[in-house]
Amino acid sequence: MTNSANGKIHLWAFLQGIGFFPGGWRDEKAQPSRVFERSYYEDIARMVEAACFDAIVFGDQLQGRDAAGRTPERLAIPTLDPFTLLSVMGGVTERVGLVATVSTTYAEPGEVAAKFAALNYLSDGRAGWNIVTTAHPNSAWNFGEPELLEKALRYKRAAGFVDATEHVWKQAVGEAGGAFANEWFAFDAARGTPTAPQGRPAIVQAGQSEDGRDFAASCAEAVFCPAPTIEAGQEFRNDIRARAAAKGRDPDGLIIMPGLAFVLGDTEDEARAKHARMLDFADDGLCIEYLSESIGYDLTRHAPDGPIPIEDICASCEFPAGMIRAMLQPSVDAGKTLVEHCRDYATKPRGHNIFVGTPEQMAEMMATWVDAGACDGFTLQPGFMPAELEIFCEKVVPILQEKGVLRRAYQGPTLREHLGLSGAPW
């Protein structure tokens, strides 16, 4: 998987929005207005490449960011097209990988194959596809459909989608004929696409459900996941590797990249104070809007200091009621008010590990996780942008390089080489 020159810790920069914490954009060193400027993305791309990250990763949103029809007033939630952003960033870099998120539920294989083939070709083999199946129920409305496919069907479609997309790429190198058909897709002749040094793009998957894990074990080469503790990371990595082996795959051909949010300071006290400030920026109104957007229910209609209206929420929220009830019930049982639960939710958004400490401590923590088999690297999610990412690149990266666990220079031009993977498997 790795060699001594390439290092043993993989680094990705997850750059959706303007930072991990919902109130982080309010910090005086944050630059929220720049997320609509080309130079913002060019500057970040150069910085990440100078630090020898494997890749830049962008998510995508296919639904409106409202809560039951009410548009949030206090959340900073800018989302731009990932292909456009990565094309801009690829134009000012030569090595760092470019990973775009694309749903298999609301796209077609020929279209996706062509887009990634173009990005892969023009970047000289640096493209990666982060496969998702879309979880937000409202996404269906933007594609003329009344409701989202059931989860198991979404993953069956995803498997058929990947097979169809790979057929297009194989045809481009003479490894497949033109016609293709499976349970979900059929076409007589694949669309011609250019080829690149790494063959097809690297395949990434984001999902932690049973269906998601099984899908990842079948076709992914890297997995983005939450792992709030080292034990959770070990369980996930061991499980995915075992599933891959059971499917006849080499477990070493798949790397695990959990999300890692962070707040850094020159001392522990400074880091803790900064973290507290990040949490304070998310005032009660923002916290309520944040949870509202996350569950698809307008909580602003209820008294903040009143009980959690769990029955009202479950009766009309946009997500499956069972999932939302399971999330709310512990706080209901503990007698928490609505605003208390919203504050708790905003302190650890999306269930990822949050590191708060010094650069030296962060480097040690990262090496410990990898040595313990909890992951192969980290998908970094700075508390706010771009200052926190700059601190990581300036202060943590040199420590990791001095420890010999992070490369000092890229070992090749393609994303697959950065990930320690072989060429395309055909």
Q: CATH code at 413?
A: 3.20.20.30
Please give the tally of structural domains in the chain.
2
Name the DSSP letter for residue 301.
Answer: G
| Tens of pLDDT, residue by residue, the chain (426 residues) | 444 566 789 999 998 777 888 888 889 999 988 988 999 999 999 999 999 999 999 988 776 666 666 666 666 666 789 999 999 999 999 999 999 999 999 999 999 999 999 999 999 999 999 999 987 777 777 788 888 888 899 999 999 999 999 999 998 888 888 899 999 999 987 667 888 778 889 999 987 889 999 999 999 999 999 999 999 999 999 999 999 999 999 999 999 999 999 999 999 999 999 999 999 998 999 899 889 988 889 999 999 999 999 999 999 888 888 889 999 999 999 999 999 999 999 887 677 899 999 999 999 999 999 999 999 999 999 998 999 999 999 999 999 999 999 999 999 999 999 999 876 665
Q: Are residue 256 and residue 280 in the same domain, yes or no?
A: no
Q: Are residue 239 and residue 289 in the same domain, yes or no?
A: no
| Domain of residue 309, residue span | 271-347
Q: Are 294 and 63 in contact (CB under 8 A)?
A: no
Q: What tokens appear for 40 in the block?
A: 């913002």
Q: Tell me if 4 is assigned to some domain.
A: no
Handedness of CA 15, 16, 20, 25 (dihedral sign): positive
Distance (Å) of CA 81 to CA 71, 87, 97: 20, 10, 17
Q: Tell me if 423 is assigned to some domain.
A: no
Q: Tell me if 281 is assigned to some domain.
A: yes
Closest by CA to 14, choosing from 76, 93, 97, is 97
Closest by CA to 36, choosing from 17, 21, 63, is 17
Residue that terminates a domain, selected from 347, 377, 401? 347
Q: Are residue 196 and residue 55 in the same domain, yes or no?
A: yes
Q: Tell me if 176 is assigned to some domain.
A: yes
Q: Tell me if 22 is assigned to some domain.
A: yes
Q: Are residue 399 and residue 304 in the same domain, yes or no?
A: no
Q: Are residue 91 and residue 123 in the same domain, yes or no?
A: yes
Q: Tell me if 388 is assigned to some domain.
A: yes
Closest by CA to 361, choosing from 396, 401, 387, 389, is 396
Place of tokens 């609505």: 338
Q: Are residue 240 and residue 284 in the same domain, yes or no?
A: no
Distance (Å) of CA 206 to CA 129, 203, 226, 267: 10, 10, 9, 34
Q: What is the DSSP string of 195-254?
A: -BTTBSPEEEEE--SHHHHHHHHHH-SEEEE--SSHHHHHHHHHHHHHHHHHTT--GGG-
Q: Are residue 184 and residue 320 in the same domain, yes or no?
A: no
Cα pseudo-dihedral 247, 250, 252, 255, rounded to 10: -40
Q: Could you give the CA distance from residue 119 to residue 121 in angstroms, rounded to a whole number?
A: 6
Q: Are residue 369 and residue 263 in the same domain, yes or no?
A: yes
Distance of CA 357 to the CA centre of its chain: 23
Q: Could you give the CA distance from residue 270 to residue 37 in angstroms, rounded to a whole number?
A: 31
Q: Are 395 and 264 in contact (CB under 8 A)?
A: yes
Name the DSSP letter for residue 240.
Answer: H
Q: Are 187 and 180 in contact (CB under 8 A)?
A: yes
Handedness of CA 139, 24, 78, 283 (dihedral sign): positive
pLDDT recorded at residue 175: 86
Q: Tell me if 1 is assigned to some domain.
A: no
Q: Are residue 199 and residue 333 in the same domain, yes or no?
A: no
Phi, psi of 245 (to 5 degrees): -65, -40
Q: Are residue 331 and residue 370 in the same domain, yes or no?
A: no
Residue that terminates a domain, selected from 323, 347, 371? 347
